[in-house]
Amino acid sequence: MKNNLDRLRNVPLFSLIDDDQFEQLKKSSITNRYPKGNTICNCDDRPDKFYFIDKGSVKVSITNDEGKEIILAVLTEGEYFGEMALIDGQPRSADVKTREKTTLHIIFREDFDRIFKENNKITASLLHKTTQRLREANKKIESLALMDVYQRIARVFDSITVLKDGKRCIEERITHQDIANMVGSSRERVCKILKILEQSNYISKINNIICINKKLPYNF
């Protein structure tokens, strides 16, 4: 498949490398398309690739001791994953699976390491992004520990909605089970809360896409 990594120039991480490095990166990288539900990598896999999402989306998740999936993040076009394991050399810490047909640009470890070592600005950018993700993880832990299910849902909606035609909406179709996995609750409980929010006109569904009609109350 023809390699097309030009969109990487729009990613702060790779906007920092010079033209020669970028051309080397393009030549040594590959682009793959994956169907919906395809596993890209598993927890404890060997860290040998960096992934950039050109089209589509993926979910990052772990499975607890009882076999329940917990979604840590949903990543969409323009985002990337796999960098943490490349930095510290430790096995992957989560599973990553496509949520729809997805196109990924893949950079192999040796090429990633070479550019990483040659450019101090990339090091700083990676540390900044890693810190951001750590803060998000801390918020999720706090949410699971201190908030009830409704408050967790409200926080998830606040973090994944985008402004669209004057309303905040979740761009991607997301199932009740996905939301349940994000907030650590049952699908039945989530369905009940969403039904009440919809009946109270706090949210609405347009072509199965959830939109926020007015600011969600802190307690419900």
The model's pLDDT over 51-74, given as tens digits with 9 standing for 90+, comes to: 989 899 999 988 876 777 888 888
> Helix H segments across the chain?
19-28, 83-88, 109-118, 120-146, 149-160, 176-183, 187-199
Mean pLDDT of 205-213: 86
DSSP state of 119: -
- The CATH label, of 1.10.3080.10, 1.10.10.10, 3.20.20.140, 2.40.40.20, for the domain at 148-212 is 1.10.10.10
Whether the full predicted model's pTM is greater than 0.75, yes or no, is no
52 contacts 107 by C-beta, under 8 angstroms: yes
119 contacts 21 by C-beta, under 8 angstroms: yes
More confident residue, 108 or 8: 108
70 contacts 181 by C-beta, under 8 angstroms: yes
Determine the pLDDT at residue 62.
Answer: 86
Name the CATH superfamily, with its identifier, for domain 6-145.
Answer: Jelly Rolls (2.60.120.10)
Question: Helices 149-160 & 176-183, crossing angle to 10 degrees?
Answer: 110
Q: Where are the domains of the chain?
A: 6-145, 148-212
- Picking from 14, 34, 133, the residue whose alpha carbon sits closest to that of residue 85 is 133
Determine the pLDDT at residue 194.
Answer: 92
Instruction: Look up residue 99 and give its two tokens.
Output: 């949520």
Determine the pLDDT at residue 101.
Answer: 94
